[in-house]
Structure 1
Amino acid sequence: MAAYDDINGKRLATVSVISIVVTAVTVLAVQVIYFAMADMVDSEKIRNSAYTRSNHALEQQSQALTQYGVNPETGNITIPVDEMMKKMVAEAKNAHNEST
């Protein structure tokens, strides 16, 4: 048979393996770069975001919890939460002392 028609199997296998390795490394490198850039974009979005409506609502709630006042609709008196907690603790201590 003719020797020039034979395929060099070792060279073909070597080139195939090298091609597969180069392709896999390239795919992984592109994936790492993609996720790094996506994380950078997400970090920039978070850094530039503003929660003005939420912050305003939280500010109003915080002020409502720390002020004295009267509810005009029901006539209920409101006091700060901290003051009420102190009064409840004092009443509980007095009740405990009286019961013992």
Structure 2
Amino acid sequence: MAQYDDLNGGRIALVGVISVVVTAVTALAVQVAFYAMASYNDTKKQAESDYRRQNEFLMSQETELAQYGVDPSNANVTIPIEKAMELVVAESHSESHDDDSNNEI
């Protein structure tokens, strides 16, 4: 009998399916490894971080907000933020009492 020169379709399909599965598993493994390394790197950076400069800037802002002074560039008077909040609350209370007394007349 003569041999056929046909290709083995079943074997080609099997190799194709196996190749797709191996490629998909490899891609997922690389993605998992990448995100695991990124998470480890972020955790390490956060543990070693130093916020000294930012904390010093925040402290200087807090002291600036907590003292009286005059801005030399435009001659604005500055008062502590706590005092400013008290004045605003007192002003709003006085305005609400004025509105109530005007409504009674």
Measured on the aligned residues, the alpha-carbon RMSD in Å equals 2.6
| Corresponding residue for residue 49 of structure 1 | 49
| Corresponding residue for residue 60 of structure 1 | 60
5+ long unaligned stretches in structure 2: none
| Corresponding residue for residue 93 of structure 1 | 93
1:1-100 equivalences under 5 Å are 2-3=2-3, 5-67=5-67, 69-71=68-70, 73=72, 78-98=78-98, 100=101
Number of aligned residues: 99
Identical positions, percent: 45
* Structure 1 residue runs of 4 or more that deviate by more than 6 Å after TM superposition: none
Distance in 2, Cα, partners of 1:7 & 1:90: 93
Distance 1:32 1:72, change over 3 A: closer
Normalising by structure 1, what TM-score?
A: 0.74
Distance in 2, Cα, partners of 1:96 & 1:77: 27
SS for the counterpart of 1:47 is helix
Normalising by structure 2, what TM-score?
A: 0.71
5+ long unaligned stretches in structure 1: none
Q: In the alignment, is the contact (CA less than 8 A) between 2:71 and 2:78 conserved in 1? A: no
